[in-house]
Amino acid sequence: MVDAVIIGAGHNGLVASIVLARAGLDVLVLDHVTWPGGGLAGYHVVGGVEVPIGGLRTWPNTQRLNG
C-alpha cells in the first residue's frame, strides 16, 4: 500500500513526488502517457517527429493566427 498517489507526471507532479519520497513516504505517480515531464517533455507523432508540448500551449488572451 502506498502513502501518496500523485496524478500527473508533469513538472509539478514529479517535484511533489520527490519531496514526499525524501520525507520517507511511499509514492505512486500516475499519468495517461508513458513518459514523464508533462509540458517539458516531447510528444512523439507519426513518423518519429517530436513536437514539444510546451510550445503548443495557447493562453486565453492570445490572438488566434489564421494561416
23 belongs to a structural domain: yes
Confirm if 17 and 6 have CB atoms less than 8 A apart.
yes
Is the per-residue pLDDT at 64 higher than 90? no
Q: What is the pTM of this model?
A: 0.61
* Number of domains present in the structure of the chain: 1
Give the separation between CA 21 and CA 4, rounded to whole angstroms: 9
What are the tens digits of pLDDT across the range 23-42? 999 999 999 877 777 766 66
Q: Is residue 65 a part of any domain in this protein?
A: no
In a domain, 67, yes or no: no
Residue 42 in any domain: the answer is: yes
Tell me if 38 is assigned to some domain: yes
Range of the domain at 37: 4-56
pLDDT, tens digit, 9 for 90 and up, residues 5-25: 999 988 899 999 999 999 999
Instruction: Indicate if the pLDDT at residue 59 is higher than 90.
Output: no
Does 18 fall in a domain? yes
In a domain, 63, yes or no: no
Task: Give me the half-sphere count of Cα atoms (radius 13 Å) on the Cβ side of residue 26.
Answer: 3
Residue 62 lies in a domain: no
Beta-carbon count within 10 A of 36 CB:
16
